[in-house]
Structure formats: structure tokens, C-alpha cells
Structure 1
Amino acid sequence: MDFSGRLGGRHGGGARGDVDEFGRERRNRPHHRKPYDRPNRSGNRGNQGGNRAISMVDDANDVESRLSSLIIKVGDKNIPTLQSNLDALGVVLEKDFTKHEITVLRTFRQCILELPWKVTVYSTLAGLLNAKNSETGAKVILLMHAILRQELARGHWGSVKVIMRFFALQVRTRAISIETLLSMIDVFLKPVADEPSNVSGRNSCLVFIAMSTLLWAGQALSEQVPAELEARLRIAEQYVQAHGEANANNTLATVLHDAPCKGTNVLAHLLEIMRAVAEEGWNIDAVCAPYTMFAGEFAQATQHELPELQLPTDLPASSYYTPPEILQLVPHPPEFTVRRFIMQDFISDTVTQLEGNRKDCAKFLLQVHGLCNEDVCSVMTTAQNPEDMDAESSLVFEYMVAEVIFSFLTQLPEGRYREMYYTSLAVELRKAEPQIMGSVLETTVENFVSRIGTMDVECVNRLCNWLAVFISNFGFQWDWAKWEDVVDENENAPRRRFVQETLLKLVRLSYLDRVKAQLPESCVSLVPQKTPGHNFKFTLQAMDERTKAVSVAVGKCLKNKGTPEQALDILHTHYSQWTDLDDGERQTLAREMLTEHVLLLGSKTFSHMLNAIEKFMPALQQFGDTPEAKLQIAKVVEDFWIKHPQFFAITIDKLINYRVIDPVTVVEMLFSQSHVGSWSQFHLWEILRNTVNKVNMRVEQLQSRLVAAQTAADAIVADGDTVAEQQAESVEHVESVLAQMLQEQKDVVISTTRHFVQLLSSSEGTADELDRAWLLGRFKEFMRTYRLQVMENVQALESVAFTPEASQDTCQVFECTRMLAA
């Protein structure tokens, strides 16, 4: 049976819009039709049997559609009739289950995974089915347990957490026993109980899921087996304490440095929430609990035994995951801390579970408040006067949604999904509620930017990218006047740099004049005065006669579609006559001349640039025969595109692809003394990230190719000697190329780290304290992002970078990297 699919996603159908909560479907008849008219009637009597068969199929499909709609829509809101609706739905499903088992089970699976805020409703519904018919209940419970095992094996920890919360509530419906639930929780806690001091990403993920499950099962456990609950809480608390001690001084994963440091994830905060809930008798009052309405029905229910869970042992460390602690970007009343956590936990699960469909995710996010109990939160989208709501005196639902999105966007040490997901999700939310969500997101950004001086540099970069793309989706409209005071700040000041870099990205996404038109006069100085373009060195006014002769000849050759050989001949003919220079100086001038003209030839568009580099690649490679020559080519590119960072980045990328320059050359160019005072410029680090990522991607591709080649070689039969020999040569070739790429990866990591440490340890490496703060922030970003590669080269780094001359803060970052990579 296939139970895959999504609610309104790419692979599955959602609820029918013409069906009410009880499955009553409107009859879509033309006005001239009579109620007793039969469809498919025709004069062809011989086809009546076929028509009846089609009609029966259509009727069956309609029934299944109504059943799905009933399940999906039940409990959308906390209304007085929720109890009777659930009871009626339980009767309908019990009656039709045998006929439409696959449809019912598939819909259950979809709803539990993709509507996580309705967990209390679907737990109650599953319990009712079990109370009415234990065989039907067993099929639902065993299905979800099978899905749980499947998600565990795949390492889909968000789904595992959601399903475990479902099983936590099944104890309240008596569909499973407390002993069964405890054994499931113990599977997650066993690795931690065996080694309580072993702090790792894997153990943090397992403890988080166990704690989240205990939070929802706490009331039943405290009433029936308080000692068992306490024992498991002690295991979790011991791990959280060990985790906190291990990360006490590690700020590499801290987004806002003016906030209390609680480590690298939500564990410490979740423990605080559990303590607060325990003081209230483990009662979670944020959402309604319909299972309490059916205590009599559940009293005689059959409890089902479940197979033992098995944790996967072959998943990579990077697959283990815990969500970020939600940043408090809008003031919330402290007495609502638990309710805020519960609501934002549901919002976070929705963002995670519907990651593949931003439109559905946005639609469902605006419905998460539907099951809230009275006075839990205020909802602007349903209020008569939303502008009068004060987030400081109550929980405002829309602001909680915005906080979750920005917390995921800025999650460290790395985000779970691509940054564009959170941007597109915010775009869909604003489209759904233009006035309200537009205002909410704008206010949240303002609050974020007000603390930008204490924000991690990488997070500043992400927020800049987010805001630029978000604004570009709405006509580039934004109230820039509220930030016009940044014009008077230091050029490296965090707020000014953030606003300026956002505007530069908007210029990339549009064009300069359009961006200028949106700015108040006071902010125009933050963008270039002229359209970004090239800076060709060999203009007629800037050359002497003999240089002019060379430049004109090379320029004509390239414009007339000359070949690389012809260009090289022209350069050799002219520069060989410059007898006042030695061979090295003439080679340097020829290299610069050719590079400038190739760049000029390709300066019109990106495709022109690609074609120009590809055509004259042999000549450029011939000139780039030494590390010094490669560095000169890279610096010529930077000078040529000094006014156009986007073209600069793309050109460097293409030169690496064609092996005209190598990644270490880019590192040397980026950390040159000419950039001192400009470490706040984002495009420099964009180029560095792209370069290192390209090297890492090539290594991964070659490793995959090697595995495939070795597998193919092992499978060759003995009678294919020639083929076997060729295959063996292929394996040797891939091994040789992989060894070269691994060495290149090592060189890039060591060279980059060494340059960072040398600059930060020297008074001449930065222009002032602000410049140094930006460089230190980028150093943290590099060490955090590439911590695995850094740890592979620890010994080399200790000998060439982290020497006694290294500054104390760079050594501290190195030690934090060790802890983060553990």
C-alpha cells in the first residue's frame, strides 16, 4: 500500500474546497438539470453497462474524497462542536474503513505529519477509532509506527519528532500503554545514558526528541509512573548540563551576542520550559485537548503492543539535527513563555514538514492558531483593529511566525534549508495577508537591524540577502527613510554596511536608476553614482605611443575574431622590441595586456565573458604558468571589475573552472594588503565562499566517481581482460585526480586560515577596530562553515597558523571550532 503524498503538495491531493467539515458536498448541477436527471444517459443503450461502471468508479472516488476532506478539516478551529464533530467522524470512519482503508490510512499519515499543530485532534481521532474497533485502531497505530521506523532509517528527524509527539498522546487515549511509550523514549535516551558526558550532534538530536516527547507525555507519566518520568528527566538534565559545560565559552553558534549564551541549540531552553510545565502539573493549556472529552470511551480501549525501535547506525553526523532556539525579536510578556514555546514549536514543525511547498506552508502557517484556547494569543488577521494590538502585553500570533522564520534563517552553525526557502515563504505570507504580514515582517526586520551590532557577521549577510530578494518581489518598495541616519555613520559601521550592501544587491536584482528612484535624497550616496561598469586600463589618454601600438593591435585582433595564437604572436612581436626591459618585465606587461583585452571583449554580458575566456583560454593558461603569474591575472581581473563586484565574482569563477588560475590564487588575491580597511565588503567573502565550495564539491564528486569506478571494476567478469585493464586504468586515473584535489583542498584551507590569523594578529592587518571586527567575524564564519576540513588539517594549522605569535582571539576561535566539530 502506498501511503506517500502531501496535503496539497506535489505528489498528493488536498482537501476539496466544496466540502464542509461533515463531508457534505455541494451538487454542482446546471440550472436546467432536474434532481432526478441521470448523468451519462444517451441513446446508445449498448453502452449502459460501461456507463454504470464509470458511475460506480466516480461514486467511489467521491466517497474517498469526502472521507479525506472530513479527516483533513476536522478540528481546524477550537469550536464548541469539536467533541460532537470528532465523535461523528469516528462513527463515519469506523463504518467505511473496510471499504476505503488505503484512503483513510494515507490521509491519517499526511495529516499527522503535515498538520503538526493538530496533533491533539488526530491523537483523539485515532483513539476513538481504537475504542470503537480495536482492529481499525491497530491498523492506524501500526501504520504510524511503521512510518516512524521508516523516518528513523532515513534520518528525517523533524518527522520523527512529530510522530513521537503523536504517540505521547496515544497514552491518554489508551491506544498504547505507558510501558510501550517509555520503551520508545528509552531508545533515544540509551546512547546518552550509556555515555552521559559524550556531547555530540547525534546525542543532542536524540535528547531533543526524547525531551519533546516527555513534554507532551508528562501529565500521564507524572500521574501513573512519576518515578519513571523522573529517571528519564535526570538523564536529559545530565546531558543538557554536560552540553552546557562543553559549550560554555563557545560563541561560534551564537546569533546575537548580547543574548544569554545557552549553547548551540534549543536544549537548555526546552529544559527550562519542561521545568515550568512540571510546576503546573504538566498541563499544557496553549491548545485544546479533545482527548479529555472522551475519557469514558477510552477507559475500555485495547492497548496495542509495538515492535521495538532501532536507531540507525550508518547516518552521517551532518544528518542529525535540532531546530534553533527561537530568537525573541519582539518583546513578549514573560508569563507567556510556555505558551510562546508551544505555539512556536508548532510553527517550527510546520515550516520543517512543509519545506517542499512554500505556498501550502504559508497557507497552513496562518491557520496554526486555530486550536488555541481562549486568550492564548491575539491574531491580527482576524481582529477588527489589528493596528491596536500590542505585542508587549500579549502574544501576537503573526509576530511569533515572523520570529520563527528569522530564527531559521539565521540558524548557526548552518541553516537546515536554503536561505531562499525562508525568503519565498515570507513572500507568500505577505501575498496572503498584504497589509498585516507586510507590517509584521517590516517591524521584525527593524528590530533585528537595531541589534545588528551584536549579530554574527554571517547572519548579517543572510539577513541582507533575505531583505533584498524580499523587497524585489514587491516593486522594490521599502521605507528607507527610517534608516537615513546611517549615512552619517562610519563606512564600516554595522548598520550602514548592512543598508549599503542591501542596496547593492537590489542593484543586481534590478538596475541602478530604479533603486535610486526609491531612495530619499539623503540616502542616494549609499549607492554608486554611475551604473556599474568596467575599468579598462589601456585607454588612449592613459598610454604612451609604444603601449598604444600594442593595445590597438591586440584590440583589433580580438575584435576581428583572431585566434589565441595570433594574439600571442602580436604580443611577442611588439614586446620583443622593448629592449630596455628584461624578459620577465616584458612577460608581465604582455600578460596584463592580453588579460585586459580578453576582459574587455567579454564585458558586454555574462555569456560574452564566458565565450571570451573559453576562446582565449590556451593563451591565458600559457601566461599563467607560475603562481606569481596567476596572481597577476587575478589582480588584473579585480582592477578591471573594481566597480562591478558581480562581474568580478563571475569572472573569477570562470577562470577557476578553466584552470587559468587556481583556488589558492584567489585566496592570495583576496587577502592582499590592498583590501585592508575594506574587510566589511560582502563581495570579497562571497568570492571566497564560492571558491572553497567549488573545491569541496569537486572532491565530493571525485570520491563518488571513485566508488562507482571501483564497484564497476570489481564486477567485471574474468573473460573481459581488455575491458578490465581499461577499467583499472580508469580507477587509477580517478585516484590520481582525487589526490590532486585533496591536496588543493588542504592548500586552500591552510592558506586561508593562515592569512586570517596573520592579519588579525598584526596591527597592519586592519585599519581600525570596526575593520578588525568584520575580519574577525568572517574568520569565525570560515572556521565554523569548514570546520570538518579544518579539523582534517589540525597539525598543519598548528605549525603554520596558530603559533605563539597568533592573537588570543584567533586561538580561541580555533578551540571553539574543535568543540563544534566534535
Structure 2
Amino acid sequence: MVFFMRMFMNSKRQKRHAPALRVWQAEAPHAQEEGLDCLWAQVSKLRSEKWVERHLVRPYLAFDGVLCEALQHNLPSLPPPPHQPHYIYPFPMVVFRLFDYTDCPEGPVLPGSHSIERFLGEEQLRHILERNYADRKVCAAQLLSFQGKLKVPLEYMIVEVIFGELLRLPTSRQLEICYGSLLLELCKLQPSSLPQVLAQAVELLYEQLDTMNTDCLDRLSYHQRVVELVPASFAPFLPAKPVPDYRFEKEGADGLPGAPVAARLSSCIRNKCTPEEALEVLAELPNPLQEDEGMEPAHNPLKIQVFVETLLYIASKSFSHSFAGIAKFHYVFKTLASTEEAQICVLRSTYDLWHNHQQMMIGLVDKYLKTQIVECSAVANWVFSKDLAPDFMRPYVWEILHLTIRKMIKHVRKLELELEDAKNKLSKEGSRSEDVRMGDSGDKDHPTEEMVERMEEKLEATQSDLKNLFLIIFQRFIMTLTEHIGQCEVEGTNFQTYWFRWTLGRLQEVFFQHHEHVFKYVTTLESLLFTSDIDPHVLEVFQQFAALRA
């Protein structure tokens, strides 16, 4: 068996995926090896040491006399099942390393990266995590009771394994808060040593932030605690206070277009006017897109700006007030935002008011999507628009993009389940009596073939919308990155800036977070967008992703 393993490992194995799965782009201070390469090195070292291993517990030694006299059996061969197109295999991995033996000042020596003891210890700790992640107290106690704790620096291995799971790519197995709460519980149970190891790990992580994968960087964000910790001299670097920025109450706002109408609309809304009355007030506003004797534009950006900013400012006391305002004036939103351009205007006006309150922006966009005030494609195009360029690198923008994608995926899944349920009911009906099949039973919930056909058409349309959403997002990524490269070439500067690396990381993040659905369109993406004529750096991100299931 070892011979065949050596042949496989020495073959020209495809490892294009490895750079995409690295937590850090740099190789220092610890090499980030591809998972099989590292495991093969550990097995080879064990073989060179004549297969001597002292880490595993061997309870069977207590029954050695009985086992020696027992009847021996020949184990049958276990052929692997043949490949099927619908099989989904585990993703490859890159081994996460945070510590080596020099980081452990006293006590047992940390096994080397190519030591089989390192592999066995990490796998056993991961097994404890997988079995007990739902109860942090039990999980922490089990980790600290690890059977081999006297042979290895247990605190270092536990912290390394937890951070490895937290930063695992393409996605972590559990929610980020699971690992954070577990680390806190471990510090409570082992206050004499574990907090110091955790502080050492955090210092090592922050020393390498400049080369960290963008998706991993987001998982370490903790804004409020950082604000409380930094000294007063850092105040200029902190974000502005999360308050609304209402243009019609600023000094000199009287001269702004729509200011008088905004004042009247504000008075009407405070006096509990109806949506129709609000539209009557807005009807006084001219359309800045209207040309002399030209066709009536499909939307009026001034109406949208005045209405959205005024309503949301009045309802700015809380999320509940804002959501109630949107619900009450939903008809006005739908009337004003009937096209994608108008929906982008709604998003732009919302951003103009709440650009200092990221959480409110996320909540409002989510509400717009739920109430179908804006479409997913409008949000995607707005994220990449020039209006949002000042905040393009901020995490909340990408949280909005991901929640938009998830919203569409959830809708597709809902329609799939409804269609599957309807088909099951229809097939069961086929075994019933003729009068029931003809609908004489009075069961109004029973689906007909025509209803199932309509549901299939609706599902196909929604699946097409999801595909188009991914195409829009990836096309805008390519356009944005290509434009940056072209501008840098004109200016004679290096295009590989932090902005470029960050945006590439966000592209990879979209691939990773929605890999189950993006893989369905790999062939389409390869033929339409990620072709050989785009920049190699952008193409490499797609090729690394595609190689995960190659």
C-alpha cells in the first residue's frame, strides 16, 4: 500500500487549489503545506522511524494473552464504491500552522510539523470539537482532559486547532461565535496558562494581517471592543458616530432642490398621512431627467431622494420604527421604484442618509429585499457603483452582497421544496379513486397538473435569476479589477496594491461562501466571463476555485 501511495504522491498531482486555501499568502514564519503533502511527509517520517509511535492509547495490550490464543480471521478486501456524478467529495485542505517548538518556552516539546504525533493530536482534538461543539462547557472540559496532555504542550495545540477551524477555508465548520465562546470557556477553566497562550496566538495573527486571506480577516472583526481599547490619540481613525445624515436639516439646506417639498412631506408623515397623500405631495417635484418635449422618464430621482431620506429620517429612532415606516409606505416605494434604475436610487438615498450606520444599512437593505422593494440584481449593481466607492473596502458592503445572494438562494430552495411537495401529493393522488382524482373530494389544497407546471415554470425563472445574479456579480468584479489595472498602467504605478489584493480576496470569498451553487455554473462562467483574455491574476482565482472539484 505504501508503494502505491508513493507512486500517487510522486505523480504530477494537480495542486492549483492550494494557494486559494491558504490563510496567509506569505510562507513565513510557517510553511502552509497542502494537506496530502504534509500527511505523506508525516507517514514517511514514521516509516523511517520503523513505525514506532508512542502517542496512541492501546487498551488491547491488557488482553494480549487472550488475543494471542484467539482464532485469527482474514479480513476481506474493501473496494471503494465507484464514482457517481452526484457524489460530493470533501474539499482539499491546507494545513494551518501557528506555533512551532520555539514558541513553547517550557514543558513538553511541541511535535514537529512532519511528526505523526502532531497529526494524531490535532485529529483527536478536532474529533472532540466535532462531537461537543454544541455545548461549550462540555467541549472545553473534554479538550483539557485530553488523554495525551502530559506528552504535548496541550494549551498550544488546542489554541492552534481552534484557530485553524475558525479560519478554515472555504468556510468554517461552525459559526465564528462558537469558537470565540469556546476560547472564553477554556480561559475560565485554565486561567493560569491558557490566556497567555491565547494572547501569544493573537499577537502572531495580527503580525501577519497584511497577508491574511480577506475572508479570514472578516472572521476576526470585533469593532466595539477595539473602540473601547484603543487610546484617545487613535480617535481620528475611528468611524463616525452612527447617526443619520439628513441633508434637508443642514445649514443652507433651504436652497437644495426639493427642500420645501421635503418639509411639507415631513409634516404630513408626522401627522399620519396615507401613502396616497404622500404621493400627492411628491407630485409637486419636477423630474431632473425630463428633457424639453421628451418622453417621460421611467423614474424621478428627486422624488425618490426626498421621500426615502425624509421617511427614514423621521423613523430613525430604531430598527422597528424604520421597518414600520417601510411597511406603511410600501405602496409609495413600489410606485416610485418600478425599474432597476429607480431601485438603485432608493439604495443610494438610503446610503446618503445612513452611511455612518453600517448595521442600519444592512438591516434596511435586507428589509427592502424581503418586501420586494428592490431586486437582488439592483443591489449587486449598486454595490459596484461609483456611489459606493468610498465604502467599497468596508466589510458591511460585502455582508450586504452575501445576504442578497443568500436571499435568492433561499427563495430558489423554497420553490424547489414546494414543487417537490406538490409532485409527491400529485403522485399519491394517482392511486386514489377516480372521483377524488377529478377533484370531487372538495380538497382545495390538492395540486393539479396545471399547478405543478406553473410551479416548474416559476422555479425555472427563479433559477435563471440566480444564475444571472452570479453573472452580474462576477462580471462587475472583472470590470472593476480590469479598470484598476488599466488606470495604474496609464499612471505608471504598480497595480498590486492593498485595494487590488482586497478586491481579489472578496472575489474569492464569493466563490467560497456560495460554492455549492457557483459550481453549477462553472462551465458557463468559464466560457462567458473567465476567459483567457482577462488579467491572469483574476483568472487564477477562478481556476483555483474550479480546481477544488477537479
Q: For this structure pair, what is the TM-score category when the shorter chain's length is used for normalisation? A: 0.7 to 0.9
| SS of 2:38 mapped into structure 1 | helix
Aligned-partner Cα distance in 2 for 1:666–1:272 = 48
Report the residue type matching 1:280 in the other structure: E
Any residues of structure 2 matched to 1:741-820 within 5 Å, and which? 741-763=462-484, 769-794=497-522, 796-798=524-526, 800-803=528-531, 805-820=533-548
Q: Is the 8 A contact 2:309 2:353 kept in 1?
A: yes
Structure 1 residues 354 and 449, CA gap change in structure 2 (3 angstroms): same
State whether structure 2 residue 278 is matched by structure 1 residue 567.
yes
1:234 and 2:12 are equivalent in the alignment:
no
Measure, in 1, the Cα distance between the counterparts of 2:247 and 2:85: 54
In structure 2, the partner of 1:535 is 245
| 1:557 partnered with 2:278 | no
Q: Quick one: distance in 2 between partners of 1:453 and 1:310?
A: 47
Question: What is the root-mean-square deviation of aligned Cα atoms in Å?
Answer: 3.2
CA–CA separation in structure 1 for the residues paired with 2:118 and 2:356: 47
Cα shift at 1:791: 4.0
Amino acid aligned to 1:820: L
Letter in 1 for 2:20: L
Residue 352 of structure 1 corresponds to 130
Deviation at 1:524, TM superposition (A): 2.8
Shift in CA distance, 614/305, structure 1 to aligned 2, threshold 3 Å? farther
Q: CA deviation at 1:254?
A: 1.8
Note the alpha carbon deviations across 1:520-557, whole angstroms, 9 max, x for none.
233333323x5311112222631338733211221122
Where 1:365 maps in the other structure, the secondary structure is helix
Please, which of 303, 312, 316 is the counterpart of residue 599 of structure 1? 312
Equivalence map 1:421-500=2 (5 Å)? 421-464=178-221, 468=222
User: Which position in structure 1 is the counterpart of 2:25?
Assistant: 257
Supply the distance in 1 between the matched residues of 2:532 and 2:370 (Cα, whole angstroms). Answer: 38
How far apart are the structure 1 equivalents of 2:95 and 2:531?
Answer: 38
Identify the range of structure 1 (802-811 vs 706-715) with the bigger mean alpha-carbon deviation: 802-811
Instruction: Name the amino acid aligned to 1:709.
Output: A
Distance in 2 (CA, whole Å) between partners of 1:433 and 1:547 is: 63
One-letter code aligned to 1:427: L
Report the AA paired with residue 234 of structure 1. F
Select which of 44, 53, 69 maps to 1:284. 53
- One-letter code of the match for 2:198? L
TM-score by length of 2: 0.85
The equivalent of 1:631 in structure 2 is 344
Aligned mates of 1:737, 1:435 — CA distance in 2: 61
Give the stretch that moved more between structures: 672-681 or 279-288. 672-681
Is the 1:408–1:416 Cα contact (8 Å) retained in structure 2? Answer: yes
Going from structure 1 to structure 2, the CA distance change for 1:310 and 1:694 (only over 3 Å counts) comes to: farther
The TM-score with structure 1 as length reference comes to 0.58
1:640 aligns with 2:353: yes
Deviates more, 1:281-290 or 1:613-622: 281-290
Instruction: Specify the code of the residue in structure 1 equivalent to 2:283.
Output: H
Amino acid of the residue matched to residue 754 of structure 1? Q
Deviation at 1:813, TM superposition (A): 1.7
Deviation of residue 786 (structure 1)? 3.1
The residue that corresponds to 1:405 in the other structure is 162
Distance in 2 of aligned mates of 1:685 and 1:594: 26
Shift of the 458–414 alpha-carbon distance from structure 1 to 2, 3 Å rule, reads same
Residue pair 2:376, 2:404 contacting (<8 A) in 1 also: yes
Superposition deviation, residue 338 in structure 1: 3.0
TM-superposed CA distance for 1:683, in Å, is 1.2
Residues 84-123 of structure 1 aligned to structure 2 (within 5 Å): none
1:311 Cα deviation after fit: 7.0
Q: Secondary structure at the match of 1:660?
A: coil
**Residue in 2 aligned with 1:719?**
435
Paired with 1:713 and 1:636, the residues of 2 have a C-alpha distance of 48
User: Which of these residues, 402, 413, 416, is aligned with residue 703 of structure 1?
Assistant: 416
2:548 maps to amino acid? L
Between the aligned partners of 2:156 and 2:487, the Cα distance in structure 1 is 39
- Of structures 1 and 2, the one scoring higher in RCO (CA 8 A, sep 6+) is 2
CA distance in 2, matches of 1:674, 1:777: 21
Report the alpha carbon displacement of residue 357 of structure 1 after superposing the two structures with TM: 2.1
1:288 deviates by 4.7
Measure, in 1, the Cα distance between the counterparts of 2:163 and 2:116.
Answer: 20
SS in 2 for 1:740: helix
Report the secondary structure of 2:393's partner residue: coil
Cα deviation per residue 1:223-273 (whole Å; 9 max; x = unaligned)? xxxxxxxxx22344444456x72114642222222234544xx32212211
2:105 alignment partner in structure 1: none
- Are residues 731 and 598 of structure 1, via their aligned partners in 2, closer, same or farther at CA, if it must alter by over 3 Å? farther
Tell which structure's C-alpha radius of gyration is larger: 1
Say yes or no: does 1:738 pair with 2:516. Answer: no
- What does residue 367 of structure 1 align with? 145
> Is the CA contact 2:133–2:178 (under 8 Å) kept in the aligned structure 1?
yes
- Pairwise CA distance, 1:788: 4.4
- The answer (yes or no) to whether the contact 1:750–1:793 under 8 Å persists in 2 is no
Aligned equivalent of 2:377? 664
TM-fit CA distance, 1:335: 6.2
Quote the Cα distance in structure 2 between the aligned partners of 1:405 and 1:766.
42
Q: State the Cα distance separating 1:631 from its structure 2 match.
A: 1.1
- Is the CA contact 1:703–1:738 (under 8 Å) kept in the aligned structure 2? yes
Quick one: distance in 2 between partners of 1:561 and 1:234?
Answer: 81
Q: Bigger CA drift: 266-275 or 799-808?
A: 799-808
The verdict on how the C-alpha distance between 1:348 and 1:519 changes in structure 2, with shifts beyond 3 A counting, is same
In structure 1, give the amino acid aligned to 2:194: M
Q: CA deviation at 1:809?
A: 1.0
The equivalent residue for 2:43 is: 274
Q: 1:339 aligns with which of 111, 117, 138?
A: 117
Percentage identity across paired residues of the two chains: 25
In the alignment, is the contact (CA less than 8 A) between 1:754 and 1:800 conserved in 2? Answer: no
Structure 2, unaligned runs of 5 or more: 103-109, 489-494
For structure 1, the 5+ residue unaligned runs are: 1-231, 378-395, 469-502, 508-514
Aligned 8 A contact 2:285 2:302 in 1? no
Matched, 1:300 2:69: yes
Q: Which residue of 1 aligns with 2:107?
A: none
Q: What is the CA distance between 1:804 and its match in structure 2?
A: 5.6
Q: 8 Å contact 2:21–2:169 — kept in the other structure? A: yes
Alpha carbons 2:23, 2:213 under 8 Å: kept: yes
CA distance in 1, matches of 2:540, 2:283: 53
- The Cα of 1:754 is off from its aligned counterpart by 0.5
Within 5 A, what are the aligned runs for 1:130-145? none
AA partner of residue 96 (structure 2): L
Say which SS state the counterpart of residue 245 (structure 1) adopts. Answer: coil
For each residue in 1:56-81, what CA deviation from the matched residue of structure 2 results, as whole angstroms up to 9, or x when unmatched? xxxxxxxxxxxxxxxxxxxxxxxxxx
2:13 is matched with 245
Aligned-residue offset at 1:448: 1.4
Q: Secondary structure at the match of 2:234?
A: helix
Residues matched between the structures, number: 519
| In 2: Cα distance, 1:687 partner to 1:521 partner | 31
Checking the alignment, whether the CA contact within 8 Å between 2:24 and 2:211 is kept in structure 1 is yes
